Structure 1
Amino acid sequence: MGFCDEKMGFLGDALDRVRVEECFRECLAIAKNCRVQNVRVIRHKLGRRCLIEYVLINDVGEVIRLIGKVRAKGTDFYSYELQKSLWESGFGDDSSDGISVPEPVGIIPEWQMWLQRQVEGEISTQFLSRNNGIFPAQLIAEAAHKLHQANIPPRRSHTMSDELRILHERIPLVMQQYPQWQTRLERILAASDNLGANTPEAKRCGIHRDFYPDQVIVNNSRLYLLDLDLYCAGNPALDIGNFIAHIQEYSLRTFGNFQVLQNYENALITRFLQLAGKEFLPAIQDYITLTLVRHIYISSQFPERLPFTEVLLNLCEQRLKIISDL
């Protein structure tokens, strides 16, 4: 099975069915009596990470689907242990609140991989263009709050200084690409710094830090949180602000108007404030703005999003109350 990545040469074995069966039987209790039906690469960032789907069949005919997460710089033991801790602390498939994480099933250090069960359902992005979006929005708010209350110690933190540092690294790259916007982008950076300096602080807790609609799978009345690789200590308002900003950016690209999904946003924010406290609203609004500023850069990196770069720039100027010279 052909596969080449100089920094991840072991992926050949991870894709070879015979080697997969041998290694799985040695390392994974769930695969002791299984044969491999299919192996498929889902996502691959050259020299960095790879996501692989494995379809197994056990000796009683049950189909078991696993997702293997490979990281070039070494096995991500921390993310595996974090997910295991969550699974064992109220985020299992049997949680009464319907909020879960996929079940972690083991680690294969030889392939720098850890594995979880693949979960059925739809990513919550697919609900955004439907009329029944209120229910997932409320449950998503509950899921974020549950994660914030999990009390699993993070090994790192993310502060407002880190958030602003990312903008100062990314936005100058847009200036290089679009020098005609340099003055406007400089003003946006300065206004973002001012906004960040005045954002209400909150007691830090464990947050997702990369929380947006593609990170949530909805399966009937159960919701699964995905990809907790960036879990850290931070302001819980960041997760909600980041999620809302992604909704607005999606709405802009899909419907040509960032306000089309306002009801979805309102339902999410209202439920989160009911759980966490109304005092989080100003910080949520600030993180919405800062995430949209980051999306100026993100949009410039994808050809299909380039038509929306200046629209995002205009939106950020409005939110930051920047008066144009035009």
Structure 2
Amino acid sequence: MNAASLPVRIQDRNCDLLNGGSVAGLFRSLMPSICAGGAADDVRVERCWPVGAPVASGFALEWTFAARGRRHAVYGEWGAMRKHRRSRASDPTASTEPTLTADGLRGLEMRVPGADLVLRSPDRDAFLPQMSVCLDRHRMSDRLVAFGLRPRAGAGERHSLRCRLGGYRPGRRATVRFGNGEATGQNVHLCGKTFRDDRGRRLIQLHLRVSEELRRRCGGRVRVPAPVGFDDELNMALFVWMPGARAETVGHATDAVSRAAVEALVIVHELPHGDFDAFGPRDEYAVVDRWRRVIGRLIPPVAGEADDLAARLEAASARTSDKEPAAIHRDFYEKQLILSPRCVTVLDLDTMARGDVCVDIGNYLAHLLLRELASRGDACAFPALAEGFVSEYEGQRGRLNRHHLAFYMASSLFRLGAVHALRSRTSGYRPLLWRMARHLLDHETFESRRMPDLTPGCGLAGGVTK
């Protein structure tokens, strides 16, 4: 297995930022009090993002380590240091000593001596300075009162609010869930989305408009989180956290999840879309090309394979038209669904656009294949699951362009393979995901009966690391 590598020279020794063991040594030397008692013995590389466009001039990384019964995240910025800022200037009362709290690691901001590397905790994000407030339960308890919500503490507590970081892209956006936990009093279950720009305000308006359309079209069977308000100072859009079960916890391959996903997509694809930004095959390929460059930089042994697959995707994008657009989600897969007995809730409308419905279906199927690998260790059941999903969708909206579906699914598989190739636990998924992408491009169509052998003995599933 070809391992990703990002070697840097730190003082008098080498450190590979994409190797958990190497990073563990770095953490122990820089944060001895935090890493006491073997806390940094199990460091995992969770994510790696390119920074800079169109060519990555640096990388943002997320590592986790185990301490006090849970995993804590550390974020790093390597390269592109001309953009480095100190976040404490915006919060002069902040502590300079990192600490482990009930909500995670806080107070870390450290420029590593002799290296183009900065380590941070989310509350020290230089480009999202509001994070120091968003992740502070005391200050957020007070701020939520402005929206008519009064989180009250139980006996002997000043504040019961919990601030849990969800989706986070350093320097760009973050999702924070607010909840009361076990305390008595009014329950507060909100989701806040904060951005570097004014996207949150636009997101509130989008949710209001989509909510009204969904009520009119399907009576609320499909819905989106209800907006609560917008905090100008924090640049944060607040939504009600919808009750129900996340689809991935129900079981991604169950009939209930499949039916809910199809129902949600059919309704979303029928929404008015005239003022959405256009997203076409060339836009899709631009994302592929960005990840191709990343793989070439970080995993040189597979750079040739990435270049070849990306070239084939570029050729396929030229053969894919962008006619007959619809409203599309652009990041649709099972984790974007919350299921309840009476409805299905669709999350994360941040990237909605106008484009080919196969963008969403191809992305969903690519993630379905990944989930089969993660949950079963092979993908033997995938062809039947995929064909069932596509047939159910076509039964409600008519036949899909299977050539377009092959391109968008292959593109999603390429991106997923590249993303997971840089992660400690799931790097073994890349060969299978890319082989499926090549198969789709070979046949230029999506047909479940012509899919490659995905049994454990075919050489694809071997080496997969959960």
Name the TM-score class by shorter chain.
0.7 to 0.9
1:146 to 267, 276, 281: 267
Partner letter of residue 282 of structure 1?
Answer: H
Supply the distance in 2 between the matched residues of 1:239 and 1:255 (Cα, whole angstroms): 24
2:277 corresponds to which residue? 156
Tell me: CA distance 1:117–1:307, structure 2 relative to 1, closer, same or farther (3 Å): same
Cα deviation code 1:244-300 (max 9, x no counterpart): 111112212332323424443233211211222114333223211121112221122
Matched, 1:255 2:376: yes
Matched, 1:65 2:189: yes
- Cα pair 2:171 2:196 within 8 Å, conserved: yes
Supply the distance in 2 between the matched residues of 1:127 and 1:18 (Cα, whole angstroms): 34
Partner letter of residue 233 of structure 2?
Answer: E
1:187 to 299, 303, 308: 308
Supply the distance in 1 between the matched residues of 2:315 and 2:129 (Cα, whole angstroms): 46
> Which of 264-273 and 42-51 deviates more?
42-51
Supply the distance in 1 between the matched residues of 2:400 and 2:431 (Cα, whole angstroms): 32
2:222 corresponds to which residue? 99
Supply the distance in 2 between the matched residues of 1:14 and 1:166 (Cα, whole angstroms): 30
Matches within 5 A, 1:201-280: 201-280=322-401
- Cα pair 1:41 1:50 within 8 Å, conserved: no
| Offset, 1:214 | 0.9
Supply the distance in 2 between the matched residues of 1:182 and 1:139 (Cα, whole angstroms): 39
Matched, 1:310 2:436: no
- Cα pair 1:79 1:229 within 8 Å, conserved: yes
Q: Which has the higher helix share?
A: 1
Tell me: CA distance 1:201–1:275, structure 2 relative to 1, closer, same or farther (3 Å): farther
- Cα pair 1:69 1:113 within 8 Å, conserved: yes
1:8 corresponds to which residue? 128
> Which of 193-202 and 293-302 deviates more?
193-202
Supply the distance in 1 between the matched residues of 2:137 and 2:302 (Cα, whole angstroms): 52
Supply the distance in 2 between the matched residues of 1:263 and 1:221 (Cα, whole angstroms): 27
Compare CA radii of gyration and give the structure with the larger one: 2
Partner letter of residue 318 of structure 1?
Answer: H
| Offset, 1:22 | 4.1
RMSD: 2.7
1:38 to 141, 152, 161: 161
If the length of structure 1 is used for normalisation, what is the TM-score? 0.86
Supply the distance in 1 between the matched residues of 2:439 and 2:304 (Cα, whole angstroms): 16
- Cα pair 1:102 1:119 within 8 Å, conserved: yes
| Offset, 1:85 | 0.9
Supply the distance in 2 between the matched residues of 1:13 and 1:127 (Cα, whole angstroms): 34
Tell me: CA distance 1:229–1:85, structure 2 relative to 1, closer, same or farther (3 Å): same
If the length of structure 2 is used for normalisation, what is the TM-score? 0.61
Supply the distance in 1 between the matched residues of 2:276 and 2:218 (Cα, whole angstroms): 26
The percent of aligned pairs where both chains have the same amino acid is 19
1:135 corresponds to which residue? 256
Supply the distance in 2 between the matched residues of 1:129 and 1:9 (Cα, whole angstroms): 37
Partner letter of residue 235 of structure 2?
Answer: Q
Cα deviation code 1:286-323 (max 9, x no counterpart): 2111211122211222111112222323332233229x
Q: Which structure 1 residue ranges, 5 or more long, are not aligned?
A: none
| Offset, 1:103 | 0.9
| Offset, 1:217 | 1.2
2:143 corresponds to which residue? 23
- Cα pair 1:200 1:282 within 8 Å, conserved: no
- Cα pair 1:158 1:233 within 8 Å, conserved: yes
